[in-house]
Structure 1
Amino acid sequence: MFSQFVDTLRKEKSLEGAVRRFLGLIEFSTGLESAYLTHIDSSLHVQTILFARNTGSFVIPEGLSVPWGDTLCKRALDESCIFSDDVPGRWGDSKAARQLGVQTFASIPVHVDDSLYGTLCAASSRRKAIDSRNRRLLAVFSEVISMYLERELLLNQLTDANLQLEEVARVDPLTGLSNRRHLMAEMGRIWSFMRRENRPVLVAFIDLDGFKSINDQYGHDVGDEFLVAIAKRLKGAIRPYDLAARFGGDEFVVVSAIDADEDQPTTARESLRGRLEASTLGPFELPSLKLDYAGASVGIVDAAVNDLSPEQAVKRADEAMYMVKSRRRSLMAKDPRGACQPEGNAR
């Protein structure tokens, strides 16, 4: 049995795999018909059978949940009694024990970080003694299961931490859009796919004209509110599988794959331009004030993925945006009420 125990420690990495092998060893060594691991939910006052091994007609079913106050485990813990071969005589008031027909019962607490997690148990419908060697065996298995549980808890915590780090690494914290780093990584994947499909990709570069004036006139908090509102509108203007990112400052990039049934890239490009330009037009109901905004400069290119890299496509879209911005400035010079004069009304 010792060699089987060592083999389990060496081979089994998962909690379930290790526990199931331990339950088999407990059943074999004690001669009891059932061995099982439970979890105690202290907030709901419920005990649940997580894993069980049964032989014969006596069955402790996995998934069974019973009120904690009616369990043999609670009685055993309260009385510091880990074993009884006369359950009806000692704990006859337990409804669950009567229904299951338990005659012999052994229970060892399982702790995680010094808190009660559950119990490791063995039971039988027959009267059978458990010697000191098997009681020590239960205690050892309980300790080892605790270590598996603590390791699993640590691994879960590390996984959660890694997911949070990945989120930080790819998301702009202010707007919730992809950041520049994630944008370029995703564009690389999009390029690989679109090369196989032999289809172009639309890349839009958006610059918020007059954003500095908003910051200067209303403060950076209002500027941040405006960036968040712009990001929300941009997301609403594109398809779920398109990509929107904050490129930096008051600059945004949108990447949109042209569908296979769209024969004319020009039509798709102008459709996207119209949606993006409309999404940046005011008024904007910000938390601090209502802001009337005359819209952003939007430059779009339909990038042939075999001819342009993602970086080159963004650069071309940036150049296209500056051409739009130049035209807007010319219009503004002719009409002071023109394209990028934000007006706000503080609440």
Structure 2
Amino acid sequence: MLDAADILAASILIVDDQEVNVRLLEQILREAGYRRLTSTMDPYAVCDLHRTNRYDLILLDLEMPGRDGFQVMEALKEDEADADGYFPILVITAHPDHKLRALASGAKDFISKPFDLMEVRTRIHNMLEVRLLYKQLEHQNRALESLALHDPLTGLPNRRLLMDRMALGIAHARRNRGNMAVVYLDLDGFKEINDTLGHDGGDALLKMVATRLVGAVRQEDTVARVGGDEFVIALAELSHGDDMEKLVSKVLQAVSKPCSIQGSSVNVTASVGVSVYPVHGDNVETLMKSADLALYEAKGAGKNDYRISGLAEL
């Protein structure tokens, strides 16, 4: 929830070609407790200023030479200076017939000239309250969206986001007649390590492994945690089988380095199953199933090793 301090900390831009009006508005706002004030008498500077500072409120005079307030609002829309498409504009006008036109042009409210002190303070406070609540809601929605697509422990993409990334990777490989690979990874003996270190130690190990996996692959690849001690890596844009084998070997080496957990040195390894588009499947589900089956083969053969689905020639 918002409090008075949040509103008084909002960033405000004053736009007026008359210095006396700028100084009067600055005085009114400072006396009310607002601290983050910027002003300009150049209407052509508004877009650049807003793009850089993302003001919570723009106090915009409608009558200015060269570019009036209506043209400034149009320029803001065309420039897309506000990332969320919400333009927090409070227009200032001495002409009653301009008010409806200003609201139709995108302004959220208006202040009449000559200034009424109580009106100025009230309208600014009310508009900032709405604006900041809007931003707070947007932030919460983005946080919820991130939670829906990422593993809360490691911060890696979860199964849902992985599926989307794999589908895009397959489509790209199909268009370019290329390859992509799915690397399904399971930690060897994680249950015993988890039982020995406790859940906190086990969680610390999983986060450390996640960091190592991200560091072992390329920027264009996706590392996801799909549950427990299982991770999946979507390797994008492979030029030939050797690229994939080198990357998988690098992943195994990264995981097998000793970890310092709760003051103790812990050794962990991984078993890995690999499937490659289009050799082992042409869709997400088939490639995941093929990699999972190859993982079981790797586990059956021993630890710290990988198997390629069906041992097909790449």
The one of 244, 248, 255 aligned to 1:269: 244
- Post-superposition offset of 1:269: 1.7
Deviations 1:192-247 (A, max 9, x none): 33332222211100011111111223322221121111111111100122100001
SS in 2 for 1:208: strand
- Tell me, yes or no, if structure 1 residue 215 matches structure 2 residue 189: no
Counterpart in the other structure of 1:303: 277
Return the alpha-carbon distance in structure 1 between the equivalents of residues 35 and 123 of structure 2. 24
Q: Retained in 1: the 8 A contact 2:275–2:287?
A: yes
SS in 2 for 1:244: strand
- Tell me, yes or no, if structure 1 residue 313 matches structure 2 residue 287: yes
- Post-superposition offset of 1:187: 1.8
In structure 2, the CA distance between the partners of 1:164 and 1:40, relative to structure 1 (3 Å rule), is: farther
Q: Which runs of 5+ in 1 are unaligned?
A: 1-14, 55-61, 64-119, 123-132, 330-337, 340-347
- Post-superposition offset of 1:155: 1.3
RMSD of the TM alignment (CA)? 3.8
Q: Retained in 1: the 8 A contact 2:157–2:223?
A: yes
In structure 2, the CA distance between the partners of 1:290 and 1:234, relative to structure 1 (3 Å rule), is: same
- Post-superposition offset of 1:282: 3.3
Counterpart in the other structure of 1:126: none
- Tell me, yes or no, if structure 1 residue 34 matches structure 2 residue 60: no
Q: Which amino acid aligns with 1:182?
A: L
- Tell me, yes or no, if structure 1 residue 247 matches structure 2 residue 222: no
Q: Retained in 2: the 8 A contact 1:215–1:223?
A: yes
Counterpart in the other structure of 2:129: 150
The one of 232, 235, 246 aligned to 1:256: 235
Q: Retained in 1: the 8 A contact 2:22–2:39?
A: no
Q: Which runs of 5+ in 2 are unaligned?
A: 1-10, 44-48, 51-90, 94-111, 306-314
Residues 187-226 of structure 1 aligned to structure 2 (within 5 Å): 187-226=166-205
Return the alpha-carbon distance in structure 1 between the equivalents of residues 276 and 221 of structure 2. 14
Counterpart in the other structure of 1:182: 161
Counterpart in the other structure of 1:172: 151
Segment of structure 1 superposing worse, 152-161 or 282-291: 282-291
Return the alpha-carbon distance in structure 1 between the equivalents of residues 31 and 121 of structure 2. 18
Deviations 1:36-55 (A, max 9, x none): 64465999x9663345579x
In structure 2, the CA distance between the partners of 1:41 and 1:325, relative to structure 1 (3 Å rule), is: farther
Q: Retained in 2: the 8 A contact 1:301–1:313?
A: yes
SS in 2 for 1:246: strand
In structure 2, the CA distance between the partners of 1:136 and 1:308, relative to structure 1 (3 Å rule), is: same
Counterpart in the other structure of 2:209: 230
Counterpart in the other structure of 1:281: 256
Return the alpha-carbon distance in structure 2 between the equivalents of residues 47 and 216 of structure 1. 54
- Post-superposition offset of 1:141: 4.2
TM-score normalised per structure 2: 0.62
SS in 1 for 2:188: coil
- Tell me, yes or no, if structure 1 residue 290 matches structure 2 residue 265: yes
Q: Which amino acid aligns with 1:276?
A: V
Q: Retained in 1: the 8 A contact 2:92–2:113?
A: no
In structure 2, the CA distance between the partners of 1:53 and 1:236, relative to structure 1 (3 Å rule), is: closer
Residues 2-21 of structure 1 aligned to structure 2 (within 5 Å): none
In structure 2, the CA distance between the partners of 1:279 and 1:182, relative to structure 1 (3 Å rule), is: same
Q: Which amino acid aligns with 2:21?
A: S
Name the larger-Rg structure.
Answer: 1
Deviations 1:260-308 (A, max 9, x none): xx3x2x1112112101111121311123421123x11011111129952
Segment of structure 1 superposing worse, 166-175 or 186-195: 186-195
Q: Retained in 1: the 8 A contact 2:173–2:237?
A: no
Q: Which amino acid aligns with 1:216?
A: D
